[in-house]
Structure 1
Amino acid sequence: MFPNIEKFCRKFEFERDSISAERKNILKNIASTIDAEIEKNGKAKLIYICTHNSRRSHFGQIWANVVAEFHGMSSVIEAFSGGTEVTAFHPHSINALSTLGFKITPDSSKSNPRYEVKFGDELSTTCFSKVYDDTENPNKDFIAIMTCSHADENCPFIPGATARFSTPYEDPKLFDNTKLQDEKYLERALEIGREVFYMLSLTTSKKDNAHYS
Structure 2
Amino acid sequence: MKILPLEEKHFPEVATIYKEGMDTGKATFETQVPSWEMFDRKFLPEARFVAIVENSVVGWCTLAAVSSRKVYEGVTENTIYISSLHQGKGLGKKLLEHQIAKSEALGIWMIQTRIFPHNKASLHLHLSCGFRIVGTREKIGQREGTWHDNIELERRSKKIKYMKNLLILCTGNSCRSQMAHGYLKEFGQGKLQVFSAGIETHGLNPGAVSIMKEDGIDLSNHTSNHVDEYQGIAWDYIITVCDHAYENCPFIPAPNAKRFHHNFFDPSKVQGTEKEKHAAFEKARNEIKEYCRNFIKTNL
Q: TM-score range by the shorter chain?
A: 0.5 to 0.7
Distance (Å, rounded) in 1 between the aligned partners of 2:289 and 2:272: 24
Distance (Å, rounded) in 2 between the aligned partners of 1:50 and 1:172: 14
Residue 153, structure 1, aligned to residue 247, structure 2: yes
* TM-score, normalised relative to structure 2: 0.43
Correspondent of 1:188 among 284, 289, 293: 284
Once the two structures are TM-superposed, the CA of residue 128 in structure 1 deviates from its matched residue by 0.8
Distance (Å, rounded) in 1 between the aligned partners of 2:178 and 2:239: 12
Distance 1:53 1:138, change over 3 A: farther
Q: What does residue 57 of structure 1 align with? A: 177
Distance 1:174 1:104, change over 3 A: closer
Q: What does residue 123 of structure 1 align with? A: none
Distance (Å, rounded) in 2 between the aligned partners of 1:86 and 1:42: 30
Between the two proteins, the alignment pairs up a number of residues equal to 142
Correspondent of 1:92 among 167, 182, 207: 207
Distance (Å, rounded) in 2 between the aligned partners of 1:130 and 1:163: 21
Let me know the Cα RMSD of the aligned residues. 2.5
Distance (Å, rounded) in 2 between the aligned partners of 1:138 and 1:48: 16
Distance (Å, rounded) in 2 between the aligned partners of 1:65 and 1:42: 15
Correspondent of 2:216 among 88, 97, 101: 101
Residue 44, structure 1, aligned to residue 164, structure 2: yes
CA offset digits 1:87-146 (Å, max 9, x no partner): 2111111111122223454xxxxxxxxx1xxxxxxxxxxx210112314x7622332100
Which amino acid is 1:54 matched to?
S
**Alignment gaps of 5+ in structure 2:** 1-155
* TM-score, normalised relative to structure 1: 0.59
Q: Secondary structure at the match of 1:48?
A: strand
Which amino acid is 2:182 matched to?
I
Distance 1:66 1:44, change over 3 A: same
Once the two structures are TM-superposed, the CA of residue 197 in structure 1 deviates from its matched residue by 0.6
Distance 1:39 1:155, change over 3 A: farther
Distance (Å, rounded) in 1 between the aligned partners of 2:202 and 2:244: 15
Which amino acid is 1:140 matched to?
A
Distance (Å, rounded) in 2 between the aligned partners of 1:134 and 1:46: 14
Distance (Å, rounded) in 2 between the aligned partners of 1:58 and 1:166: 15
Q: Give runs of aligned pairs for residues 1-213 of structure 1, distance below 5 A.
A: 39=158, 42-69=162-189, 74=190, 76-105=191-220, 115=221, 127-135=222-230, 139-155=233-249, 157-160=251-254, 162-178=257-273, 179-203=275-299, 205=300
Distance 1:104 1:43, change over 3 A: closer
Distance 1:43 1:54, change over 3 A: same
Of the two structures, which has the highest relative contact order with CA contacts closer than 8 Å and spacing of 6 or more? 1
Q: What does residue 122 of structure 2 align with? A: none
Distance 1:45 1:183, change over 3 A: same
Which amino acid is 1:63 matched to?
Y
Which amino acid is 2:214 matched to?
T
Which amino acid is 1:56 matched to?
R
The structure in which a higher percent of residues are strand is 2
Distance (Å, rounded) in 2 between the aligned partners of 1:61 and 1:201: 16
Q: Contact 1:148/1:168 (CA < 8 Å) preserved in 2? A: yes
Which amino acid is 1:141 matched to?
W
Which amino acid is 1:90 matched to?
N
Once the two structures are TM-superposed, the CA of residue 43 in structure 1 deviates from its matched residue by 2.9
Q: Secondary structure at the match of 1:79?
A: strand
Distance 1:187 1:180, change over 3 A: same
Query: Over alpha carbons, which structure has the higher Rg?
Result: 2
Point out the more displaced range, 46-55 or 165-174: 165-174
